[in-house]
Structures are given as structure tokens and as C-alpha cells.
Amino acid sequence: MAETTEFELVSPEKLLVSEQVEMVVVPGTEGLFAAMPRHAPFISTLAPGVLEIYEGGSVKDRIFVAGGFAEVNETRCTVLAEDATPVEEIDKAGLQARIEELDKEIKFAESDAEREAAESKKKSAETKLAFAD
């Protein structure tokens, strides 16, 4: 049996995953990284993308994550995500409607801060939509 590490994925709403895994590939802001047993400790911020959980040498689960942090050490990987959705549960029509709403928010923003916040949300929604295909 392959060596495993403990993995937890937590969103603001709930604990999504808590299990022993062979490897987790995480979208960090500096690029993808693989958390495996006996990994050197570090902390990373998350980039919008798909987190992949490996079991039996292949991908078992794919979960879209956006925003948050990952902490890795020799025995565990903990991901605290602002948004986490299993790829197969992504609502394409809902995301497309949200992107259209954000376009309006960007167009009618009353300040640079409002516009930048809407643009950031739009980029995340577009990235999530791209991974749904």
C-alpha cells in the first residue's frame, strides 16, 4: 500500500474533505504544487484552479478552489479555501449569469475599489467556468 498523508479541505461553509490521500495537487499562486507524505513544511496562497486528489496512482476527485491558503507539513496538507466546488457540480448557466451581472457592476462602478472588486470576482467566475468544460 502506498504511503499516505492526511488531507483536509475547508470552505467557509463546511469541512469538504478529511481523509488519507497519496497526493494532492494544489493550485498555488506561484504555480501548482504536489503535497505528498514527508513533504517539507510551507504555506502558500491559492490561485483559482482545480485541486486534484490522488488515490491508487490516479485522480480520485477534482475540486475547483478560489482564494485562500494551503499549509503543508510532513504529515498533512490543510487547504482553507474561500470557494470550493467539486468540478462535476459547477453550474455553468449560473456562472454565465453571474459573469453578466459582474460586467454590469464593472460598467457602473462608482469607485476604483468597486470596479476592482467586481473585476476580481469576474475573473474567478470565468476561471471556474473554464474548468467546468
Residues 62-107: tens digit of each pLDDT: 999 988 999 999 999 999 999 999 999 999 999 999 999 999 999 9
| 96 and 52 in a common domain | no
Residues 42-57: tens digit of each pLDDT: 999 999 899 999 998 8
d(CA 41, CA 56): 24
Higher pLDDT, 56 or 22: 22
What average pLDDT does the segment 4-18 reach? 94
User: Strand, coil or helix: what is 70?
Assistant: strand
pTM confidence score: 0.84
Amino acid in position 5: T
Q: What is the pLDDT of residue 54?
A: 95
Overall domain count for the chain: 2
| 116 and 75 in a common domain | no
What is the band of 131 on the pLDDT scale with cuts at 50, 70, 90? confident
d(CA 99, CA 125): 7
| 80 and 33 in a common domain | yes
